[in-house]
Amino acid sequence: MSELRLVRLIEPDGSASGDDRYALPAPGELLEHYRALVRGRRFNEQASALVRQGRLAVYPSSHGQEACQVAAAAVLRDGDWLFPTYRDSVAAVERGVDPVEVMLLLSGDWHCGYDPMRHHVAPQATPLATQLPHAVGVAHAARLKGEDTVVLALCGDGATSEGDFHEALNFAAVFRAPVVFLVQNNKYAISVPLARQSVASSLAAKGEGYGMPSALVDGNDVAALTAVLGEAVRRAAGGDGPTLMEADTYRMDAHTNADDASRYRDDAEVTEWARRDPLVRLRAHLRAAGVLDDEEERAIAESAEQTAAYLRTGLSADSEPDPAELFAHVYAGPAPHLAAQAELLAAELTAEVHS
């Protein structure tokens, strides 16, 4: 097969690429995406700062990948599902989940701080690729019920090496499930570069092996991402099955704040990718198109600042989760052995109070 041709609609300098396959979204739509990008970037910066302040245990930032985050949320319709990983907090927030609730996982409060059923955003998965078969299950269920729900499943380049990636894509293709798989190829799985994960011509090319259409997209171009993802969502909703998409992007920060990226990559590489930053590119484009002026930029920055402040305030309060809740959700019904253990802990806590 021939190598897939990268889809890019806006060049790193902001000029239109003139792609012959996809039309550039309207300026008004792109301005909305720009707002979300700025909000996402600010969210990433704020969350990283909260780690330094000891408010979060760790934060896997999507700095540099905000276009993927924003596009993934933007192309879904009401009722559609998003299956995020631990690096996809911004996408979850853009789908409407409360930012503080998204971060509860990393603040040590509870494993999943939001209600997945309310926004149709699955819990952020930390074991790689394991959420992908779930996404296929939700999609297959929707199809059996005759609903046109679409599921967008996120993973990274490292996850494509996992067995569950293979099983999920194969199941989705065989069942013609309405799933869009978006692989954010950010070039590193913690420290291990892409070349150690795969020698395929591209990760998108793997779609051929499953018999599903695939696309390789500039992952720092929100216009290209929304155009191609939007098409895949429409195809899935129309009963034409799954799509594999690879977004060519870059993890600008280390894996998490606990990681030291200088041990495995050069600054020059990071500098080169900074030139292709998703915000810089869209800003230049919108400026040139005359739809983004200083006043608008100030308003956008202010709005992003409000999100950051909300996150800061929400996570600055010292909260002590209720220890009794440790036993509350393990089983729906009464569990005699847990009741005895809950009593033991309660007695210990009472003794602590009185000592």
Partner 1 sequence: MTATKLTMAQALNTALRDAMTADESVVVFGEDVGPLGGVFRVTDGLTETFGEQRCFDTPLAESGIAGLAIGMAMNGFRPVIEMQFDAFAYPAFEQITSHLAKMANRTRGRVRLPVVVRVPYAGGIGGVEHHCDSSEAYYAHTPGLTVVAPATNADAYGLLRAAIEHPDPVIFLEPKRHYFTREEVDTATPVPPIGQAVVRREGRDATLVAYGPSVPVALAAAELAATEGRDLGVVDLRSIVPFDEETVLAQVRRTGRAVVVAEAQGFASVASEIAARIGERCFHHLEAPVRRVTGFDIPYPPPKLERHHLPSPDRILDAVDALQWDET
Q: Which residues are catalytic?
A: 251, 255, 264
Does 144 sit near partner 1 (CB under 8 A)?
A: yes
Q: How far apart are CA 36 and CA 202, in angstroms?
A: 29
Sign of the Cα pseudo-torsion (352, 353, 354, 355, in order):
positive
For partner 1, which is the closer residue by CB, 164 or 253? 164
Does 337 sit near partner 1 (CB under 8 A)?
A: yes
For partner 1, which is the closer residue by CB, 27 or 137? 137
- For residue 117, the minimal CB distance to partner 1 (Å) is 6
Does 117 sit near partner 1 (CB under 8 A)?
A: yes
Q: Are strands 192-193 and 214-218 parallel, antiparallel or unpaired?
A: unpaired
Does 141 sit near partner 1 (CB under 8 A)?
A: yes
The residue within the footprint of partner 1, chosen from 28, 336, 351, 354 (CB under 8 A), is 336
* Span near partner 1 by CB under 8 A; candidates 10-18, 121-129, 185-193, 302-310: 121-129
- For residue 162, the minimal CB distance to partner 1 (Å) is 10
In Å, how far from its chain's centre is CA 303?
21
The residue within the footprint of partner 1, chosen from 134, 206, 276, 281 (CB under 8 A), is 134
3-class state of residue 345 by DSSP: helix
Place of tokens 């052995």: 337
Q: How far apart are CA 143 and CA 132, in angstroms?
A: 17
For partner 1, which is the closer residue by CB, 17 or 161? 161
* Span near partner 1 by CB under 8 A; candidates 7-15, 182-190, 297-305, 322-330: 322-330
Q: How many CA atoms lie within 13 A of 22 on its CB side?
A: 26
* Span near partner 1 by CB under 8 A; candidates 18-26, 106-114, 195-203, 221-229: 106-114
The residue within the footprint of partner 1, chosen from 110, 208, 279, 305 (CB under 8 A), is 110
Q: How far apart are CA 348 and CA 338, in angstroms?
A: 15
Contacts of 210 (CB under 8 A, 6+ apart): 169, 170, 172, 173, 244
The residue within the footprint of partner 1, chosen from 12, 27, 116, 213 (CB under 8 A), is 116
CB atoms within 10 A of CB 69: 31
Q: How far apart are CA 214 and CA 287, in angstroms?
A: 32
What DSSP designation does 21 have? S
Q: How far apart are CA 335 and CA 322, in angstroms?
A: 19
Does 333 sit near partner 1 (CB under 8 A)?
A: yes
Site residues (vs partner 1, CB under 8 A): 110-112, 115-117, 122-123, 127, 130, 132-142, 144-145, 149, 163-164, 166-168, 170-171, 174, 325, 328-333, 335-337
